[in-house]
Structure 1
Amino acid sequence: MYHSVSSYESESLGESDAPGSAIFRRINLSLMSSYFLAAWAWRGMEFTIALVLIDLYPDSLLLVSIYGVLDNAVRVTLGGVIGSYLDRAERWPGARNCYMLQNGLIFGAGAGMSVVLSGVLGEPGTPTEDMKWLYWLLVGSSLMLSSASSIGSTGIMIAVEKRMPKLLCGENSQALSQMNASFRAIDLICLLASPILSGCLMTYLSPASAVMVLGVYGLLAWAPELWLLRWACHASSKLSAPSTTNKEAEQQGGTATRSNGLRMALISLYSSWVVYCGQDVLLPNIALGLLYMTVLSLGFLMTSYLKWCGLTEAEVSLYRGVGALTGLLATLIFPAMSRKIGNVRTGLLGISYQLLALSIGVVPVLLYTMSWSVPSLGGSLDQNSTSLSSEDEASSGTPSLGVTRLLISSVVASRTGLWLYDMAVTQLVQDQVLPDELGTVCGVQSSIQAGCETLSFLAGVFLKDPSEFWTLMLGSLCVVSAAWLLYAIYMSRRRLGGSLSECGVDNTSQSRQQHDEECKGLLSQHSSPGRDSQISLAEQEVQERTLSISDPRPLLADEINDNKVLEITRS
């Protein structure tokens, strides 16, 4: 069933699926269409469940907070596990299982919440006494199913958005940057448009109808999602090629998993973090995770603060829409920047722009609010300030509308830098991480981002007074500054390593030449006809001598020379 296309068609497609070819564009379109359908289902249901909870209990944010913590906790716990699974599994079956997991759980969450909102168990929000246990059981089950669907969504992101573009594009950096930008644009469009559709359904139909429509959509979209993905995998010789995972180790792992599933899951979780921490791109990844530990976004905490400062719902919605557009702007300019200045400099430019934009908006708010929170500053300002309209406004420290609009404008502008940095780091990971470890690294990265986002929510729980929001903004600005510092350290280490490598090339040229001569001598000694075993022995000795070279760049050159000698000897 796996190789459903004919052998002639498979060969012809495999020969012409290079970047820029017609079949490459069709494969690209098929992957993105499948990803769009899946992302729309997940984003739509996630936002709708939150709206339903707010509609049921408008005076409490407890259920919404529990839902957010559950969603992030699932990703923190199982992100590395799902990434390791995708590294071990074949590409098509692994991605297919993630699609099934996401869409099945979305349908289950929609069905459960539809029963809750239908009125069968009593008035929504106030069930009858005899049905109260069933009511809360369905509510809890729906929240758990919707949160668990994030694992399937994370798997889809890793398999389709991270791994497959790298396999398709290979070393073509320009094509890879274009695919990364397109996938990010799809995600941002779904993040913006699917909540709008959900809100329209809830407004013009009913909350129960909105949840039911999205649940049924998740079920119906499963078939075209898999068909598009399956066609792409079969049409590309690179995607349909068997995984390079050691089959014997995979079978041993499967036997051990059946005997002790929990133990193997914990081992997989631990090993995934070990692999993640051993990467050269560790600092850029940690910096990207820190950017999620901030309230300087367009989330619920910032929205509540803006409304407390006096902005209307319509104005806040307008800024959120413009923020989505500035994010899409990053997807348009990233391919050109990556081509002209490289991914490393693009990442530095993106995170520097984000820090600068946030500083322009946050510093005036901090100076304004701290003057009323710190007594010494407040006393000095009291003597000279005449801009406040009333004593109540002055005592509360509420920023003026002009300062508030400057704050939200800076946050909106900073989204371009955020997504530029995100896409630059994504491509750095794709370029520098081994293919068999890419899923693991991306899975752990998703866990770190979810954990940092959870910490920002918890900070909002402990500092729930809007007049104390300035402390969260100050902490967020410090976190972004720390992320910038980590990336600057990464760049300095990269430049220092390049300088040392260049010096090493000059100082070790004689040893490399001697090494090449020794390797050629070994191969010439064992190159007589009918002596394959001795050639294998020579290959092993060449590899051992190659691994003894300490400098990484000469090592790469030696390996290339040795391989050329081996190919000549075999021929």
Structure 2
Amino acid sequence: MTRSQAWNLYTSHFLSTWNARTYEFAAVIFMASVYPDTLIATSIRISVLCASVLWFFIVQPDNGDDVTPFSSSGSLGVSHVWREAIFALIIATGILEGLSASGNMLSMERDWVVTAASPYGQRYDLTELNSSMRRIDLICKLIAPIAISVAISLTNIRIGVMIVGTMSTISWTAECWCARRVWLQNPKLMAPKDVTDRDSQETMTSPGHTGFFSRAGQNIRRYVADFRMYFSSPVWIPSLSLALLHISALAYNATFMTYLLAVGFSLDLITFARAAGSVVEISSTVVTPVGVKYLGNPKTQGHHSISRDGEDEPAGPLLETPQETDGAKTEMGLERLGLWGISFQLINLVPVVFALWNLSSDPTTPSVLAVFPRFTGRLTSQPRLAFILFFFLSISRLGLWIYDLTTQQLTQSMTIASQRSSFAGVEYSFVCMFELAQHGVSIILHRPDQFKWIALISFISVITSTTAYARWVWKMRGHLVHWEKIGAVCECVELRAGRWRGGI
């Protein structure tokens, strides 16, 4: 990949992500202006969008067409019937926007980037492209909501609608132009893909005049076959573990921020904490390439080479040959760094859960922290709980996005090229199902004093993901910890302690 191709790819991804992040945040403001006294409209919209994306991958697995995003808030002075009709139209156009954005994201991140990337170790290799594109996404996630909020606060809702619609319309042309330049300049993207035997047989045996139910049944059978392919992949456990994390509400999402407002935290504090978390998330795109390179170097990891049979072999001159390719080293670094990332997230969520449990508890009943008053009596004040909550939640985002980046690249590199789209579609289906589960739990446990149970469920999901991924790494590497290095460190410490005592 050349510099020109990379920058055209980044520009196209920036425009797409900026519009998606702007519309995602602005739509909540637009819904709140039309339905100011309830969260039902926003909840319905999000749930319908998630369900629609999930259903889209079932009945229409080959989603390659782009649909221009469109948003409309309708007229604020229309009758009740017309307002509900326009609300239905907003949901319908929002579905199209969500489907096109999802299809564009899957095509770019799971297909184009993998195909067009340079070989490992060179400029614009897969690790660099993934980190740069995720950095663009996270920067847009931080800045786009602030920009549209400032625009609406300086003008009004109607002007905000016009701004979002105009940006989406104008940038669409530039986005398509940049993507087309990447396509035309990269022969690997233009090369025809290999078709699987299943797809070729379906193309030959299925007539073009089949009815709707026949096509729907065929697509469902293909979707079931895609599930079998997904679970037969060597990387399905990291993928499913990543999707499972979407059931967690321990993030700066709408559910969590609504709870924080309900228990008395100011909007300024929440906004500052969310911005701090976004900065930490962006830092993961800098840490990941360095960490992959460091942890993928056998010389820094205890002079062991990796055997996929699950056993370590001592490194020697014969093993340090070109057979240890850059791709194998990168894969080793991804596995190790992913385990560090998800473990870092789990550890930092422990004080977050304790703080939320204390905040969500009924004042008349003792909280978990009150069980040990000698050790936690100073931590139960509101400022200290706020610091514990926001500090550890923000730094936990570093581990989450490190794990996200490493898992994304593992699924890209360990999946057959002809199966990448199907694999990504099944993974995104699981993401939508777990997000729906999160919203369902939030609807059932809707009172602020019940959020502690949501936090506990979220923490259990992170534990499950961490355990599953650690088991997978154990299977792939044969171990999780270099005990010989820990033993060497302990011996060194003991030797130094003996010398120190002898000197006394």
1:256 and 1:264 in contact (8 A); partners too: no
Change (3 A) 1:173 1:440: farther
Alignment of 1:528-543 (within 5 A): none
Give the counterpart of 1:116 among 51, 58, 75: 75
Q: 2:312 — aligned with what? A: none
Change (3 A) 1:369 1:210: closer
Alignment of 1:371-390 (within 5 A): none
* Aligned amino acid, residue 322 of structure 1: A
Q: Equivalents in 2 of 1:434, 1:147: separation in Å?
A: 30
* Alpha-carbon distance, 1:198 to partner: 1.8
Q: Please identify which structure carries the higher helix content.
A: 1
Give the counterpart of 2:150 among 194, 200, 203: 200
Give the counterpart of 1:187 among 123, 137, 160: 137
Task: Say whether 1:211 aligns with 2:161.
Answer: yes
Q: Equivalents in 2 of 1:191, 1:245: separation in Å?
A: 37
Give the counterpart of 1:145 among 55, 68, 93: 93
Give the counterpart of 2:420 among 438, 442, 446: 438
Change (3 A) 1:309 1:274: same
Q: 1:227 — aligned with what? A: 177
Q: Equivalents in 2 of 1:32, 1:144: separation in Å?
A: 29
* Aligned amino acid, residue 356 of structure 1: I
Give the counterpart of 2:351 among 352, 360, 367: 360
Q: 1:478 — aligned with what? A: 460
Task: Say whether 1:346 aligns with 2:324.
Answer: no
Q: Equivalents in 1 of 2:145, 2:271: separation in Å?
A: 12
2:12 and 2:175 in contact (8 A); partners too: yes
* Alpha-carbon distance, 1:218 to partner: 1.8
* Alpha-carbon distance, 1:135 to partner: 2.4
Q: 2:402 — aligned with what? A: 420
1:323 and 1:413 in contact (8 A); partners too: yes
Q: Equivalents in 2 of 1:290, 1:220: separation in Å?
A: 36
Q: Equivalents in 2 of 1:235, 1:168: separation in Å?
A: 10
Could you list the runs of 5+ residues in structure 2 that have no partner in the other structure? Answer: 296-332, 481-504
* Superposition RMSD in Å: 2.9
Alignment of 1:126-141 (within 5 A): 127-128=78-79, 132-141=80-89
Task: Say whether 1:161 aligns with 2:97.
Answer: no
* Aligned amino acid, residue 161 of structure 2: V
Task: Say whether 1:328 aligns with 2:282.
Answer: yes
* Aligned amino acid, residue 357 of structure 1: N
Change (3 A) 1:146 1:157: same
The answer to which of 463-472 and 370-379 deviates more is 370-379
Give the counterpart of 1:302 among 234, 256, 260: 256
Q: Equivalents in 2 of 1:277, 1:257: separation in Å?
A: 33
Q: 2:62 — aligned with what? A: 85
1:80 and 1:273 in contact (8 A); partners too: no
Task: Say whether 1:273 aligns with 2:227.
Answer: yes
* Alpha-carbon distance, 1:168 to partner: 1.7
1:81 and 1:443 in contact (8 A); partners too: no
* Aligned amino acid, residue 17 of structure 2: A
* Aligned amino acid, residue 148 of structure 1: L
Q: Equivalents in 2 of 1:497, 1:384: separation in Å?
A: 36
Change (3 A) 1:173 1:139: farther
* Aligned amino acid, residue 460 of structure 1: S
Q: 1:263 — aligned with what? A: 217
How does the TM-score come out when normalised to structure 1?
A: 0.71
Q: Equivalents in 1 of 2:367, 2:270: separation in Å?
A: 34
Change (3 A) 1:252 1:205: farther
SS at structure 1 position matched to 2:461: helix
* Alpha-carbon distance, 1:213 to partner: 2.2
* Alpha-carbon distance, 1:428 to partner: 0.4
Q: Residues 203-233 of structure 1, C-alpha deviation per residue, up to 9 Å, x if partnerless?
A: 2222122112212322222221111111111
* Alpha-carbon distance, 1:271 to partner: 2.2
2:57 and 2:425 in contact (8 A); partners too: yes
* Alpha-carbon distance, 1:365 to partner: 4.2
* Alpha-carbon distance, 1:250 to partner: 6.8
Could you list the runs of 5+ residues in structure 1 that have no partner in the other structure? Answer: 1-16, 18-23, 87-93, 118-122, 389-397, 499-571
SS at structure 1 position matched to 2:207: helix
Q: 2:126 — aligned with what? A: 176
Q: 2:324 — aligned with what? A: none
Q: Equivalents in 2 of 1:429, 1:377: separation in Å?
A: 40
SS at structure 2 position matched to 1:291: helix
Task: Say whether 1:409 aligns with 2:387.
Answer: no
Change (3 A) 1:156 1:250: farther
* Alpha-carbon distance, 1:133 to partner: 2.5
Task: Say whether 1:45 aligns with 2:23.
Answer: yes
The answer to which of 359-368 and 472-481 deviates more is 359-368
1:358 and 1:477 in contact (8 A); partners too: yes
Q: Equivalents in 2 of 1:385, 1:346: separation in Å?
A: 33
Change (3 A) 1:454 1:141: same
* Aligned amino acid, residue 212 of structure 1: M
* Alpha-carbon distance, 1:298 to partner: 0.3
Q: Equivalents in 2 of 1:37, 1:445: separation in Å?
A: 24
Q: Equivalents in 1 of 2:420, 2:26: separation in Å?
A: 32
1:168 and 1:238 in contact (8 A); partners too: yes
Alignment of 1:474-553 (within 5 A): 474-496=456-478
Q: Equivalents in 2 of 1:137, 1:71: separation in Å?
A: 17
Q: 1:467 — aligned with what? A: 449
SS at structure 1 position matched to 2:440: helix
Q: Equivalents in 2 of 1:381, 1:136: separation in Å?
A: 53
Q: Equivalents in 1 of 2:359, 2:83: separation in Å?
A: 48
* Aligned amino acid, residue 152 of structure 2: M
* Alpha-carbon distance, 1:200 to partner: 2.0
1:337 and 1:346 in contact (8 A); partners too: yes
* Alpha-carbon distance, 1:376 to partner: 10
> Larger C-alpha radius of gyration, 1 or 2?
1
Change (3 A) 1:377 1:185: closer
1:192 and 1:324 in contact (8 A); partners too: yes
* Alpha-carbon distance, 1:140 to partner: 1.0
Q: Equivalents in 2 of 1:211, 1:249: separation in Å?
A: 48
SS at structure 1 position matched to 2:246: coil
2:57 and 2:429 in contact (8 A); partners too: yes
Q: Equivalents in 2 of 1:150, 1:484: separation in Å?
A: 29
Q: Residues 458-490 of structure 1, C-alpha deviation per residue, up to 9 Å, x if partnerless?
A: 211111111221111111111111110000110
1:80 and 1:272 in contact (8 A); partners too: no
* Alpha-carbon distance, 1:36 to partner: 1.1
Aligned pair count reads 437
Q: 1:539 — aligned with what? A: none
